[in-house]
Amino acid sequence: MRLPKFEYFEAKTIQEACHTLKKLGEKARLMGGGTDLLVSMKQRITTPAVVIGLKKIPETDTILYDSEKGLRVGALATLYEIERSSLVQRNCPMLIQAAGQVASPALRRMGTIGGNLCLDSRCLYYNQSHFWRKSLPVCFKQGGESCNAVRGGNRCYAVYSGDLAPALIAMEAKIRLSDGNQENVIPVEDLFSGNGKSPLTISPHQILTDVIIPPAHQGDGKFLKYRLRESIDFPLVNVAVFVEKAKNGGCESGRIVVGGIDSTPLRMKQAEEILRGGRLEEDVLDRVTKAVLKQVHPVDNTGGSPALRRRMVPVLVREALRQVYKN
């Protein structure tokens, strides 16, 4: 498949990119590494008249660490740079675990942390060629009034398939957004709407500029991913667990986030409450995994059966918790 015709505009500053985006509106799309956008353009899922390149904007790929503020990663830092950063390795190893499982080594040299966070939601019936999509009724994500994955569904169930978001939410990370004039900082968790049709809450005129991860203190995390192939594939399920350990070896607090099964990464809050204040024993693990299983309900809109993906969630959660407590 070939790319449609478009103009390429290379922004020199965040302000210039925001101004151009505001001026062109729906006619423009932002591009960092392009690993997702260019595929969508070939499939005619999106056909922007103008692509605004961000890679030449200075200091947007910087990785810095401050003992009080934590780790700051510029949105244009590539996944390859994150994997090999000594600052990330010392202060946020779970981010490396997640970054290292995205796509393939070649794509990680291009893909960025900002692009991975801002991935559009995906669906087996939507992420196909233009000709393939024309054979089906127009779905919610295409502006229609039906869902091709769930008969009688009253919303878009397209899945958010980013790998970094669950890990960042588990670590209580935040993102900085800019509209060219003002900046605001929000939790990564608030970036997602929960609606597959429009999965991000970010304004059309805002650009994600930084990811900020607070100091880990006594916390330890683990990211696991289940997919059909060892490389390239989006997750069928991914799980991020972050535990702050008490002095007695128990759990002061814990956060469990599951991705790849819904239109937003899901916090397993009932399971987190079971972890809080206790020790990691088999009966606690059993209660945690039962609570997780109650909360996840994938549908048949991606690879792998919904039943298999649902059963894999507690398996990955249990294994992630065990690995955290081995450290």
Residue-wise pLDDT for 73-118, tens only, equals 999 999 999 999 999 999 999 999 999 999 999 999 999 999 999 9
| Residue 267 CB-density burial (10 A; 0-12 exposed, 13-18 middle, 19+ buried) | middle
What band does 44 get if pLDDT is binned at 50, 70 and 90?
very high
Q: Give per-residue burial for 74-94: e unless 16+ CB within 10 Å, then b.
A: bbbbbbbbbbebeebeebbeb
Percent of the chain's residues with pLDDT above 90: 90
Assigned architecture for domain 63-117+159-326? 2-Layer Sandwich (3.30)
CA dist., res. 292 & res. 283, Å (int): 14
- Rounded to an integer, the average pLDDT of 27-48 is 97
Q: Whole-model pTM?
A: 0.96
Residue 35, pLDDT > 90, answer yes
Average model confidence (pLDDT) across the chain: 95
Q: What is the CA radius of gyration of the chain?
A: 20
The stretch 212-229 carries a mean pLDDT of 89
pLDDT at 17 over 90: yes
Under the banding of pLDDT at 50, 70 and 90, the label for residue 246 is confident
Place of tokens 């003992």: 67
- Sequence-separated (6 or more) residues with CB below 8 Å from residue 306: 297, 298, 299, 300
| Amino acid type, 289 | T
